[in-house]
Structure 1
Amino acid sequence: MNILFVLTSHDELGNTGKKTGFWIEEFASPYYALIDNGATITVATPKGGKAPIDPTSDTEDAQTPATIRFKSDPATQEIIDNTVMLSTINESDYEAVFYPGGHGPLWDLANDETSIKLIESFNAAQKPIGFVCHAPAALKSVKNADGTPLVQGKKVTGFSNTEEEAVQLTNVVPFLVEDMLKENGGIYSKGDDWAVHVLQDGNLITGQNPASSELVAETLLKVIKPLRNA
């Protein structure tokens, strides 16, 4: 079971002078949930090499059992420090793709042509595509074969406007995930702020926030297993 994880290479939080990147929990929780179920995971980024960690996801109040496991797992840290360049990835080598969040994807993956084409190829092959929190930003310019937005008419979720407001970054980010999904014709819904909320519509799986990351991985697994047994 080969699964691709795509992380951001972007580490600047707009014009704030602060750093961003990927959110540890949104990587670690799905990563361990999947490898513990026998998956082999490749981690790629647009630039390759070290993927930037959002420092806010490394604070004490953001820790979970998965992030604690990551911090005591040098082998996985080594993978994060040496990610594969996205342009070298071929969809046919993988059974699914998963995008962890953090604010970074709003700046790079949302506009990255390689990522856009990769998601389109996974979707055309009807393979599971999973996104959590800010990672649905990567769907901004992704199209179906007929040229319509991939999310059009599909049940989707992602980091909500009220959650963005709560972290006081509404005026920093280049766009709001909730607004973008709605503008592209997605049937957006959300749960309570910071509560688990995951939606599956066909092969598309989306989670609202960090708390939703493990359930996204579990849902991904449920979709992959019947495909493997077909």
Structure 2
Amino acid sequence: MSTIKKVLIVVTNSAEFEKVGYRTGLWLSELTHFWDVLEKAGLTMDIASPAGGYVPIDPESLLMPELIQMTGLKDAVNKRYEDRAFMDQLKNTQCVAEVDASQYEAIYLTGGHGVMFDFANNEALAGLIAEFYENNKIVAAVCHGPCGLLNVKLSSGDYLIKDKKLTGFSWKEEQLAKRDHAVPFSLQDELAQRGAHYEKALIPFTEKVVEDGLLITGQNPKSAHAVGQAVLSRLNS
């Protein structure tokens, strides 16, 4: 474990849906459940965002018991991180354009609907992800986080996700969450259009993790813990 460097976590700066104005941001459990796994294993993590600075938290990730019940997420993990030291890390995050990839062994893209507005078209983030991948480092994402993979191209000119098995928030889940009218695109469809082999769980909002070499993806908030376990296992292998 002593040879393992830090893990970079990327979160959104977007606080609202552009079309309808609903509040959004980071889905908190997709940070805390992943963080919990790696912290218990003794790893160090840093948090960055497309613009740097403040990170909004989706209020529904804190106040929507119906979705918590549907996904099976418990409040216990979030509760453990309701302290000033942890939450202050979301006040002034590093900008992805300033990240030194050589300091990290893995990158993890969190979700929340906010990422649909600032991950997909961020050239600095796309370049950073490509740098990780082409240097044989882990690229992981959960829920809407794979938005950040959509426009990542390798030095070959191919999309990183071309011919890769992966997952992400499904269109059915978008409909069940009643955000299908508010999102700018279907993540599921866009992943497939770039040549990815999209997979999903038979039952919406249940855990699903797909691994394809260095690429590790989770379908929904329920999958964040398992993505953390998969990343940890890969780092230890």
The verdict on a shared fold, with TM-score over 0.5 as the criterion, is: yes
- 2:200 and 2:95 mapped to 1: Cα distance? 33
> How far apart in 2 are the matches of 1:38 and 1:219?
15
Counterparts of 1:24-63 in structure 2, within 5 Å, are 24-59=28-63, 61=65, 62=68, 63=74
User: Structure 2 CA distance, aligned partners of 1:91 and 1:97?
Assistant: 9
Q: Equivalent residue for 1:112?
A: 122
Instruction: Give the whole-Å Cα distance in 1 for the aligned partners of 2:128 and 2:16.
Output: 24
Query: Is 2:7 aligned against 1:3?
Result: yes
User: Which string of whole-angstrom CA distances, capped at 9 and with x for unpartnered residues, describes residues 117-146 of structure 1?
Assistant: 000000100101110000000111011221
Structure 1 residue 15 displacement after superposition: 2.2
Structure 2: runs of 5 or more not aligned: 69-73
- TM-score scaled to structure 2, two decimals? 0.92
- Following the alignment from structure 1 to structure 2, what is the Cα–Cα distance between the partners of residues 138 and 144? 14
- Aligned with 1:18 (options 3, 22, 29): 22
**Alpha-carbon shift at residue 14 of structure 1 (Å):** 2.3
CA distance in 1, matches of 2:21, 2:118: 17
Give the corresponding residue for 1:194: 205
**Sequence identity percentage:** 36
Show the counterpart of 2:186: 176
The separation in 2 between residues aligned to 1:87 and 1:171, in whole angstroms, is: 32
Q: What's the offset of the Cα at 1:80? A: 1.2
Q: CA deviation at 1:176?
A: 1.1
Alignment of 1:158-169 (within 5 A): 158-169=168-179
- Give me the whole-angstrom Cα distance separating, in 2, the residues matched to 1:2 and 1:42: 7
Matches within 5 A, 1:122-161: 122-161=132-171
Give how far 1:34 is off. 0.7
How far is the alpha carbon of 1:60 from its aligned partner? 5.0
CA distance in 1, matches of 2:204, 2:148: 22
Q: Tell me the TM-score normalized by structure 1.
A: 0.95
Q: Note the 1:72-91 alignment, pairs <5 A.
A: 73-91=83-101
Give the secondary structure class of the aligned counterpart of 1:95: strand
Q: Distance in 2 between matches of 1:201 and 1:107?
A: 26
| 2:232 maps to amino acid | L
How many angstroms does 1:216 deviate by? 0.3
Between 1:195-204 and 1:217-226, the stretch displaced more is: 217-226
CA RMSD of aligned residues (A): 1.1
Deviation for aligned residue 1:8: 0.7
Deviating runs (4+, > 4 A) in structure 1?
A: none
